[in-house]
Amino acid sequence: MECFGVNPEDGRTSGEVRTIVFIAAHLPLSDVDAVILREGARSLHNLPPPHGPARMWVLLHAEAIGETARHEAEVAATRTQAGTCLWTTSIVWRSLPEVAAFLNRSVGYAHEAGDPHLQRYYYMHASLYLWEAVHAAKHRSVRFYWRLETDALFSGSYGALLASTGGSDADLVLHKYSTEKRTGWYPHWNNNRELLADVPARNRLFSLVSAGRYSRRFIRLLYTHYWRRGRAGYEEILLPTACARAGPAGCKMAGLGNGMMGYPGLSVISNFHYWRPLACEDFLAALRRAENKFWHPVKNRSCVAAHLLSRQGESGPVGTIVPAAAAGPSAAGATELARLRARTLDLESLAAQLRAGQDHPCPASHPHLEEFKQTGRYWCYASPGNGGDVCKMSSSGVPLPSHLPRGAGWGTTQKDCTLAPEVAGRSTGAGA
C-alpha cells in the first residue's frame, strides 16, 4: 500500500487521533466525491475532544500502481485534504497469501468470476489491515475505524456521527443483523459453505457492509482467526459471523439502526437499502436539517457537491500535500500531473456545471438518472428508486456524467429518451 498526503507537521497529533474515517473508493476519484470528502475531512480535522482529533483517509483501489495512479492519488489528497492510499488486489495476495490460496479454490469466489466488484467483497476490508501495517505505530490512540463507501452518506457532520456513536464500545457496528434462517433467499449462503461448515446456526449472520465501524480488536480477530489461517468469505457474511462466533467476551456487536437479536442499536439509520437508489434531492433535504442519519445508496451525489460549493463560496482547494514517496515525478510524470490537476482542480467550473444541471442529461419527463441495481448500467426513470417509466440514453450520443464511477455505461434496452434541444446539442456540438 502506498500513501500520500501525509503532512510531517501532522505527526505531532497523529499519536492523539482517536478515530479514523476511511472512505472506500476507486481511481479516479470523481469531482463530486472530492468536494464531498473535502468537507468531511475538514470537519474531522477540527473536531475537539472527547471524540477528536479524528482523521480521514481515502482508500483508493486501483487495477495496478504506476506513475499515473500515483499522480491521481496525489491529486485526490490535494482536493480532499485527506490522506490517500493506493491498494490493489495483488497487494492483498502478497500480504495475505493464505487468503489468496483459499480463494483460489473457493466455490463462491469462482462463482463471481464475471463480476470483479462482487469478487472484491471477499477481501475489501483487508485494506484496513494493509493500512494498519503501514500506519498503526503512529496512531496508537486510535480505537475505532469507520469504513464508508462513497454512496453511503451521513446527513450531518462526521463530528455528529462520532458524538452519537461514541458511547458504544462495540467492536463491530453494521447496518443490522439477520440469520440464515430469516434470509434464505440470500445467494451467498450457499456459496460460502466452507466458511460456515463448523459455525452454529445462531452465529450465521448477514449484514450490509457499506457503512460500518470496527475496533482494532476486531481487525486483529479477522487477521488472527481467519485471514492468517486461510479462511475468508463474502464479507456481508464473514464480518458479522466472525464477531458473533467470538462471543461477547471476544467481540461486542451493535447495529446502526434499532436494536435487534439482542444487540443494541445506535439509531443512526434513515434510508438504507441494498440496491434501490435514493434521490440526491431527498438526501440533501435531510442534510440541510441535520437529520444525522445514514442514507444508502445515494448514487447521484451532484446536488450535494453543488450545495457544499455554493455554501463554501470557494473557487479552489486550499492546503498542500507532501507525497509519502521521497522521489519526485519524472519530467513526463510532472507533465501528466499538471494535466490531471488542470482537469480536476477547477472547483468553480464544477460548481457552475452542477448548478446549471449540465451533468444530468436525463429529460424532464424522466428526471432520475439511476443505476439499475448494481449492474453499472444507467437509465433515466420517471420516479426515484428505479420507479415508473424508463428510457435509455445509449443511442443519444450524450456522454455519461463525469461524477459516475469508472466503468459505468448507459443501459441499452428500453425506449429512447426524448431529449430537449440543448441536451441533444451536446452530442453534436450544436450551438457552439
Residue whose C-alpha is closest to residue 392's, from 363, 426, 425: 363
**pLDDT tens-digit profile of 353-367?**
555 544 567 888 888
- Asked if the model's pLDDT at residue 350 lies above 90, the reply is no
- Residue 89 confidence (pLDDT) above 70: yes
CB-based contact 217:143 (threshold 8 Å): no
Q: 376 or 155: whose pLDDT is higher? A: 155
Q: Which of 45-54, 309-318, 403-412 bottoms out in mean pLDDT, i.e. has the lowest? A: 309-318
Judge whether 19 and 166 are in contact, CB under 8 Å.
no
Q: Is the pLDDT confidence value at 395 over 80?
A: yes
Model pTM above 0.85: no
The pLDDT of residue 68: 87
pLDDT value, residue 186: 83
pLDDT higher than 60, residue 347:
no
Tell me: the pLDDT tens digits for 169-195?
999 999 888 888 888 788 888 888 888
Torsion of CA 403, 269, 59, 368, to 10 degrees: -10
The stretch 15-30 carries a mean pLDDT of 87
**pLDDT bracket for residue 261 (50, 70, 90):** low
Residue 376 has pLDDT above 70, yes or no: yes
Per-residue pLDDT at 35 exceeds 80:
yes
Q: What is the mean pLDDT of residues 72-83?
A: 88
Residue 423, pLDDT > 80, answer no
* Residue 399 near residue 374 (C-beta atoms within 8 A): no
In the predicted structure, residue 19 carries a pLDDT above the cut 60: yes
Q: What mean pLDDT comes out for the span 265-278? A: 74
State percent of the chain over pLDDT 90.
21
Which pLDDT score is estimated for 316?
Answer: 36
Q: What value does the mean pLDDT take over residues 125-143? A: 86
For the segment 317-329, the average pLDDT, to the nearest whole number, is: 33
> What pLDDT band is residue 427 in, cutting at 50, 70 and 90?
very low
pLDDT above 50: residue 219: yes
For residue 25, the model assigns a pLDDT of 92
Q: How far apart are CA 137 and CA 380, in angstroms?
A: 48
The pLDDT score that the predictor gives to residue 424 is: 47
Give the residue among 111, 260, 143, 316 at the shortest CA–CA distance from 213: 143
Q: Rg of the chain over CA atoms, in angstroms?
A: 22
> Would the pLDDT of 58 be above 90?
yes
**Which has more confidence, 347 or 147?**
147
For the chain, give the mean pLDDT.
Answer: 80
pLDDT of residue 166: 85
Pick from 374, 384, 380: nearest CA to 410: 380
pLDDT of amino acid 325: 35
